[in-house]
Amino acid sequence: MSRTDPDSCPGVLRLHDAADGPLARIRVPGGQLTPEQMQTLAEAARELADGNIELTSRGNVQLRQVRDAAALEERLTAAGLLPSASHERVRNIIASPLAGRVGGWADVHPLVPALDAGLQADARLAELPGRVLFTLDDGRGDVSGLGGDIGVHAVDENSFALLLAGADSGIRVTADDAVELMLAAAHGFLELRDGQWRLHEIPDGVTQLTEHLHTSRPGLETSTSGVEVTGHHDIPIGWLTQADNRVALGAGVRLGSLPARTAEFIAAIEHPILITPWRSLVIADLDEWTAEQVVRVLAPMGLIFDANSPWLLASACAGAPGCAKSLTDVRADVAEAVESGRVVPSGAPQFAQEGLDAEEVVASGRQHWSGCDRRCGRPRGAVTDVIATPDGYRIDPAD
Ligand code: SF4
């Protein structure tokens, strides 16, 4: 597939003209936010946008209905959330949220700022399409299956497999050399592409890029025992005991939309915050007493600490009024379905249906509601689709 048009991924300096007003997407490499940055986002959401912080499937955040783009740019720059004008849209990096704290082979979080700095320091890499995604998986397999273009996946404490378009390239690299190799792969992608936005769009792209790396970097270590990459759905929710006996709290966010006031409470905890690619949060390094207080205060505000909550089964596209293509306000419809008990646990039989009014929809297990057939934001894996059509909702069961 060859494309002639540049990708249209929004940023802060290039807002998306959504139906409900300008939308800004703010890159958060590795999902890592300081409390001060969360406070900045909360104030910006309330004072310059619609009052909510949207979490994206790449662990980034979005603000809708931005009223003053210049003021937003100034605040985000001061908070370190917009470190580069030229490279802002290429800083798409997902890392295993719990790495270094709970499970996994290797702590990939230190690689995030190194990769981010390497991208920003290289003028040529500003030409990467905004769709290119880097993944850093600590070996548990939670982010390698999320459709990255260039990634590393820990195979032991100090060795990583290089993934290209989500598949094991056979190349192995140490932690010390992982960032340099990923940057070399990014350069290789730029040399191979002919307008394509993603590596998998280039015919034989993975093979060509693997050969390119072997040619340009002789002596690369290889392995024939391949890493199997699957799409997990491992949202870290609730009380998670860290290796150092402190506590990480995984918190679900209803339909990925975090109200500014809730975000300010999270910032006030003054602990590290991680945005996950499942539109949820992890608040890390808490002592037990603080963790208990956090749950006591934030659960009534709508954060989800119960892994069995039906809110964790449902996601939705922007819908109306945010998207002009939407046939209905799907987010209101799915919220009503959750609250009235019509989003039911996995296991109940799910049949294909069509022509349903919103209040007739009963769907089981993981489900994604869309305002039209494009199904934007649909999670990977087995997901039932609930799609608005001119004749009512249609349910397409998970495969
Ligand atoms: S799925 Fe359709 S309605 Fe929903 S955001 Fe995408 S284009 Fe808009």
Is residue 331 situated within a structural domain? yes
Number of alpha helices (DSSP H) and beta strands (DSSP E) in the chain? 8, 23
pLDDT at 231: 66
Q: Is 373 in the pocket of ligand 1 (CB under 6 A)?
A: no
Instruction: Tell me the chain's radius of gyration from C-alpha atoms.
Output: 21
Is residue 33 situated within a structural domain? no
Same domain, 281 and 321: no
Q: Is 323 in the pocket of ligand 1 (CB under 6 A)?
A: yes
Last residue within a domain, chosen from 309, 335, 357: 309
Last residue within a domain, chosen from 290, 309, 328: 309
Q: Containing domain of residue 271, as a range? A: 238-309
Same domain, 304 and 330: no
Is residue 367 situated within a structural domain? yes
pLDDT at 152: 98
Is residue 342 situated within a structural domain? yes
Is residue 377 situated within a structural domain? yes
pLDDT at 185: 98
Identify whether the C-beta of residue 300 lies closer than 8 Å to the C-beta of residue 308. Answer: no
Last residue within a domain, chosen from 283, 309, 335: 309
Q: Whose CA is nearest to atom 6 of ligand 1?
A: 376
Residue 18 and residue 232: Cα distance in Å, rounded? 31
Q: Is 317 in the pocket of ligand 1 (CB under 6 A)?
A: yes
Q: Is 318 in the pocket of ligand 1 (CB under 6 A)?
A: yes
Same domain, 334 and 382: yes
Is residue 43 situated within a structural domain? no
Is residue 96 situated within a structural domain? no
Domain count, the chain: 2
Same domain, 392 and 318: yes
pLDDT at 2: 61
Q: Is 376 in the pocket of ligand 1 (CB under 6 A)?
A: yes
Same domain, 353 and 364: yes
Same domain, 292 and 321: no
CATH number at residue 270: 3.90.480.10
Mutate-to-test residue for ligand 1 from 323, 330, 334, 394, highest number of ligand atoms within 8 A of CB: 323
Same domain, 293 and 329: no
Identify whether the C-beta of residue 196 lies closer than 8 Å to the C-beta of residue 2. Answer: yes
Residue 234 and residue 8: Cα distance in Å, rounded? 30
Is residue 335 situated within a structural domain? yes
Identify whether the C-beta of residue 216 lies closer than 8 Å to the C-beta of residue 208. Answer: no
pLDDT at 358: 96
Same domain, 269 and 346: no
Residue 180 and residue 185: Cα distance in Å, rounded? 9
Give average pLDDT by consecutive 10-residue segment, the chain, 399 residues: 71 94 97 98 98 96 97 98 94 97 96 98 96 96 94 95 96 97 98 95 96 95 86 85 98 97 98 97 98 98 97 95 95 97 85 94 95 92 94 93
